[in-house]
Amino acid sequence: MTAECSSTKTQLRRHPERGSHDLEVVRTILDEALICHVGFVHDGCPVVIPTIHARRGDTLYLHGSPASRMLRGLASGLAVCVTATLIDGLVLAKSWFHHSLNYRSVVIFGSATVVGDAEEKTEALRVIVEHVKPGRTREARPPNARELSGTLVLSLPITESSAKIRTGGPIDDADDAGHPAWTGVVPVTSPR
Amino acid sequence: MTAECSSTKTQLRRHPERGSHDLEVVRTILDEALICHVGFVHDGCPVVIPTIHARRGDTLYLHGSPASRMLRGLASGLAVCVTATLIDGLVLAKSWFHHSLNYRSVVIFGSATVVGDAEEKTEALRVIVEHVKPGRTREARPPNARELSGTLVLSLPITESSAKIRTGGPIDDADDAGHPAWTGVVPVTSPR
C-alpha cells in the first residue's frame, strides 16, 4: 500500500486554484504550525492523531515513545498522511453561505523511516524542542543515552506534499450588496 | 469496513491515564475547537483534511460543496475519524526529554449520513456559522433554496469518541533539580 499513496493519487481537495506545490510555501506552513495531525490506516480504519513535528531541510521529524503503537506502525512503513493547518481569519460575509475561513494548510503523503543514527536523532530532537520554543535547547539539558534510546524518532520527506491557502475578504453576491451586515475578515492567530 | 471502525478497536494512543470518554468533556473540546481534521481511507491510502465543524447536541455537522470528493466519499458511508485539538500550553522542562505540550483533543470514529431534511440542514448551517462567530446568523442572510441545495451537510454522532488531555507543569527528573533552566508552562491559545 505504502508506495502507492501519493498526493497525485489522492487529489481530493476542492478549490484547485487554492493549491500550491511550492516547497517554500510548504516549509513555511510546517514551521509556523505548532502541531500536525497524523493519519494512517489501522485494520482498515482511518485514525487521526495530533502530534508535534519539526522540519529540517525537506525532512519532517515526528517522535515519541517506542511504546507508541502509532509510531511503531509508522516505523513499519505504513502509509501516512500528515496535515498541518493554520487558521488566519474568520471571513464574515453578507450571507451565511459565503462565510469562510482564511487558512493555510499542508498535506504530506509518504511513509516514515526510523532515525537510528544517534547524531541525527539528537539533531531531530533539537529541532523539535526548538520548534516548541526557539532558543530552548541552549537552556535545557540535552538527552542522555537512556533518553535517546527511550525515544523513537521518525523522518518523513516533505517532497510529496501540497499546500492549500485561502486569503482575502468575503466574496459576496451582487444581490446582497444592500444587506446591512458588516463584512470583512476577523484575524485569528494559531498557537505558536 | 464502516461498522467495524470504533474507538474500542483503535486504541492507539499512549498515556491512557490522559484519556476520557466523558461526553461533556468531548462536547466542550468540540465547541472550543474552531476546526477539526477529518481522516478517511481513499483507495487504501490515509487522507487527512482540515474542515470546520459544529456540534448540536451529540451530533457533529460537517458541510461543503456537493462536488467535494471528500464529502461525497463520507456521504457514501465511508468510515471516518474526526479529530479536534486545542493547544493550551508549552511545557518547558529542565531536560529536552521532558518538554511537552498541554492540550485537549477529541477523536471521533464513525460514519456520517447526509442531512436531507431542509429544516435540519438549515439548522446545521446555523450552528456552523454560529460556531465561526456567535451571533452572526442574526446579522447575515440565511440560505435560500439554491444555496441550500448547493451545500452538502453531513451528520456524525459524537458518541463513539474519546478525549485526551494533558494539563499541569513539567515532570522533571529529581537529578535535574539543580539545572538552572527556568521551567513552567507558557500559555498558548488556539484560534476561536
CATH value at residue B35: 2.30.110.10
Q: How confident is the model at residue A32 (pLDDT cuts 50, 70, 90)?
A: very high
Higher pLDDT, A89 or B14: A89
CA distance B130 to chain A (A): 10
- What pLDDT sits at residue A16? 56
For B185, the 3-state DSSP assignment is strand
- Which of A1, A136, A140 has its CB closest to that of B44? A1
- B173 in a structural domain: no
CA distance A183 to A87: 18
- Which of A13, A48, A96 has its CB closest to that of B37? A48
Q: Is the pLDDT at A130 greater than 80, yes or no?
A: yes
ipTM above 0.90, yes or no: yes
Low-confidence residues in chain B, pLDDT < 50 = 1-3
How would you class A139 by CB atoms within 10 Å of its CB: exposed for 0-12, middle for 13-18, buried for 19 or more?
A: middle
Mean pLDDT across chain A, nearest whole number? 93
- B187 in a structural domain: no
CA distance B132 to B192: 8
How would you class B182 by CB atoms within 10 Å of its CB: exposed for 0-12, middle for 13-18, buried for 19 or more?
A: exposed
Q: How confident is the model at residue A124 (pLDDT cuts 50, 70, 90)?
A: very high
Q: What is the pLDDT of residues B98-115, one digit of tens each?
A: 999 999 999 999 999 999
- Which of B9, B50, B96 has its CB closest to that of A83? B50
**Cα separations (Å) of A149 from A55, B73, B98, B154?**
21, 42, 14, 45
Are B18 and B164 spatial neighbours (Cβ–Cβ below 8 Å)? yes
List the beta strands (DSSP E) in chain B.
19-20, 35-42, 45-52, 54-56, 59-64, 79-92, 100-111, 113-114, 152-157, 161-166, 184-187
Q: What is the pLDDT of residues A2-29, one digit of tens each?
A: 446 876 555 555 465 666 668 999 999 9
Torsion region of B2: left, alpha or beta (phi above 0 gives left; psi -120 to 50 gives alpha): alpha
Domains contained in chain A, number: 1
- A190 in a structural domain: no
**Contact flag A44-B41 (C-beta cutoff 8 Å):** yes
CA distance A115 to A103: 32
Amino acid (one-letter) located at A95: S
Q: Looking at beta carbons, which residues of chain B come within 8 Å of A64? A: 14
Judged by average pLDDT, the poorest of A100-114, A127-141, B12-26 is B12-26
- A176 in a structural domain: no
- What pLDDT sits at residue B141? 98
Q: Looking at beta carbons, which residues of chain B come within 8 Å of A82? A: 48
- B184 in a structural domain: no
- What pLDDT sits at residue A192? 77
| Residue B64 belongs to domain spanning | 2-168
Residue with cell 471528500: B70
Give the chain A residue whose CA is nearest to the CA of B104: A50
Closest among A168, A127, A42, A191 to B33, alpha carbons compared: A191
Compute the average pLDDT of residues A95-122. 97
- Which of A12, A34, A133 has its CB closest to that of B47? A12
- B178 in a structural domain: no
- A184 in a structural domain: no
CA distance B12 to chain A (A): 5
- Which of B46, B90, B136 has its CB closest to that of A39? B46
**Cα separations (Å) of A161 from A97, B70, B190?**
30, 18, 25
Closest among A63, A105, A61, A104 to A83, alpha carbons compared: A105
- What pLDDT sits at residue A63? 98
List helix spans (H) across chain A. 23-32, 69-75, 118-132, 136-139, 145-149
**Contact flag A14-B99 (C-beta cutoff 8 Å):** no
Q: Is the dihedral of CA B112, B14, A133, A119 positive or negative?
A: negative
CB pairs under 8 A between A and B: 245
CA distance B181 to chain A (A): 5
- A153 in a structural domain: yes
Q: Looking at beta carbons, which residues of chain A come within 8 Å of B49? A: 12-13, 83, 107
Q: Is the pLDDT at A45 greater than 50, yes or no?
A: yes
CA distance A113 to A153: 8
Higher pLDDT, A97 or A10: A97
Residue B63, all three cell numbers = 458541510
